[in-house]
Amino acid sequence: MTKIVIANWKMNPASGLQAKRLFSSVFKKTKEIKRAKIIIAPPFIFLPFFKKKSNLALAGQDVFWSNSGAYTGEISPAMLKSLGVGYVIVGHSERREHLGETDELINKKVKAALGAGLKAVLCVGESERSGENFHNFVREELKKDLKGVSRRAARNLIIAYEPIWAISGNRTVKTDKMVRPGELFEMITYIRRSLLDILGKSAAYRTPILYGGSVGAESAAEFLGVGGLDGFLVGHASLSAEEFIRIVKAI
């Protein structure tokens, strides 16, 4: 399976000119790379600046659950598709924490994105790794977020595992801990077993699982040896073209 690397720019950069320069730099330096699917997720207002390139796909950082209506400030699946967007991030830990997104809300967004033909990158992950419950927490997120999703629609599903306690930009938990490769393999295996119960055997084997816990070039190279890992959801490091390209080239 081709590895997937998603650059989540979050609320960056500050201007359209900076966004164009960053996109152009990544495109020029990765256009010969064939073994990775590279996806750029800029803020919504920058999406119209970028045309889909042969080696770069576009993603939205969020999506609404309806294609039209009186929903001030929201962006619909149809709007994203009209801009050539093929992917969308749903349920990111920062939206869960800072914007109060619930599993019920995320479930509606997942179904809307998949129903529109977008590839939905569903983010799940525990806030702390202690005791026996952190596995069950992720399983319950998956069950609630994927409730009512058909096995056919799930062909466009991608899971991004975000251990919140290991994300360097998180202000509410300690960040001096790192996920070890063995721990990542354990969680990937657990996620696939959960998908088996929720969506069946085909989804359990086919669904790409990405790692999204503060990925850098060095950690990417280390994690690539973990069985069952299909790529990365990259946050802060994606704002440096050089660092992001090092991550891609590690593949």
Active site residues: 92, 162
DSSP code for 109? H
3-state secondary structure of 230: coil
Element containing residue 183 per DSSP (H, E): helix 181-199
Listed in sequence order, the residues at least 6 apart from 171 whose beta carbon sits closer than 8 Å to its beta carbon are none
CA distance 232 to 219: 11
The residues, ordered by sequence, that sit 6+ positions from 166 with a Cβ below 8 Å of its Cβ are 175, 177, 178, 179, 213, 214
Q: Is the Cβ–Cβ distance between 50 and 42 less than 8 Å?
A: yes
